[in-house]
């Protein structure tokens, strides 16, 4: 990759890091971002944020270049512990160019309740995201089962909720991945309001199929020379928690009381 392109990616990572912080989707040292530097056919090499920094403070010179063995090739800071999640995503999807991980509050509300976001319930979201938002059951950080579950989920979608953890979005570039994260957080907020009004009414299977075929071209193209694999048909259904609608309604009412 030429120097100009790498410098452009550095600016994009910084801009996106600051956007995540400004929107309240990360706190403390939460969240991490990465982009591929390697060309198709070359060993995997990432440009990424370091550990132990606020995403509101990230600077271009703080970023690291890391190989697929998690070794720091360039930069003076330490790599974040969740780099394995990013590597698993890139290995599963050679078409993607960036990975974002953050903790948008409404998405995390569903994640910590063990409740999948009840997508699909809005037409535009099906066109933009497809018919599913996978919800991966909790695994401890570093557990190989978590990496396998993420890789499987990314065969079905570009956004994945990690139970009791947060949200991962992928894309050809940072704008696309950030917009996907924005949309999932927006859907989570709408779903919480709908719960207070009696519950979400999902779209019919026929409507979902028709809307999925209308999927818009991505705002960022895949990496040159990399094609997205065909979706697998043998993957397990989205995890569903035994939590009830009443559980969610009670949690929402309690949250609203605290903010009054």
pLDDT, averaged per 10 consecutive residues of the chain (260 residues), comes to: 84 98 97 94 95 97 96 96 96 96 98 96 94 96 95 97 98 97 98 94 93 69 56 42 47 49
Q: What is the pLDDT of residue 213?
A: 87
- Domains in the chain: how many in total? 1
Separation of alpha carbons 222 and 152, rounded Å: 19
81-115: buried (b, 16+ CB within 10 Å) or exposed (e) per residue? Answer: ebbbbbbbbbebbbbbbbbbbbbbebbbbbbeebb
Of 17, 72, 23, 67, whose CA–CA distance to 45 is shortest? 67
Return the CATH number at 252.
Answer: 3.40.225.10
Identify the bridge partners of residue 160 per DSSP, sorted by sequence position: 168
Query: What value does the CA radius of gyration of the chain take, rounded to a whole number of Å?
Result: 18
Report pTM.
Answer: 0.83
Q: Which domain holds residue 132?
A: 3-259
Residues annotated as catalytic (active site), given as ranges: 82
137-163: buried (b, 16+ CB within 10 Å) or exposed (e) per residue? Answer: eebeeeeeebbebbbbbbbbbbbbbbb
Q: What is the pLDDT of residue 216?
A: 54
Q: What is the pLDDT of residue 214?
A: 81
Q: What is the pLDDT of residue 238?
A: 40
């Amino acid at each position: 990759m030429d120097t100009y392109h790498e410098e452009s990616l550095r600016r994009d990572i910084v801009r996106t890091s600051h956007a995540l912080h400004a929107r309240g989707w990360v706190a403390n040292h939460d969240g991490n971002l990465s982009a591929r530097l390697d060309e198709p056919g070359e060993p995997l090499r990432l440009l990424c944020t370091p550990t132990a920094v606020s995403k509101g403070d990230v600077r271009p010179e703080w970023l690291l270049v890391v190989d697929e063995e998690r070794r720091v090739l360039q930069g003076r800071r330490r790599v974040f512990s969740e780099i394995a999640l990013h590597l698993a995503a890139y290995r599963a999807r050679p078409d993607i160019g960036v990975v974002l991980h953050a903790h948008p509050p409404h998405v995390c509300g569903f994640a910590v309740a063990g409740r999948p976001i009840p997508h699909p319930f809005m037409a535009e979201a099906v066109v933009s995201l497809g018919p599913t938002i996978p919800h991966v059951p909790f695994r401890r950080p570093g557990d190989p089962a978590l990496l396998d579950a993420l890789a499987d989920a990314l065969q079905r979608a570009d956004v994945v909720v990690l139970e009791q953890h947060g949200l991962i979005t992928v894309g050809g570039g940072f704008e696309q991945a950030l917009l996907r994260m924005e949309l999932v957080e927006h859907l989570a907020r709408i779903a919480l309001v709908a719960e207070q009004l009696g519950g979400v009414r999902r779209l019919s299977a026929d409507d979902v199929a028709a809307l999925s075929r209308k999927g818009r071209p991505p705002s960022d193209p895949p990496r040159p020379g990399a094609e997205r694999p065909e979706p697998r048909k043998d993957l397990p259904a989205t995890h569903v928690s035994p939590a009830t609608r009443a559980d969610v309604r009670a949690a929402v009412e309690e949250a609203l009381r605290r903010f009054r």
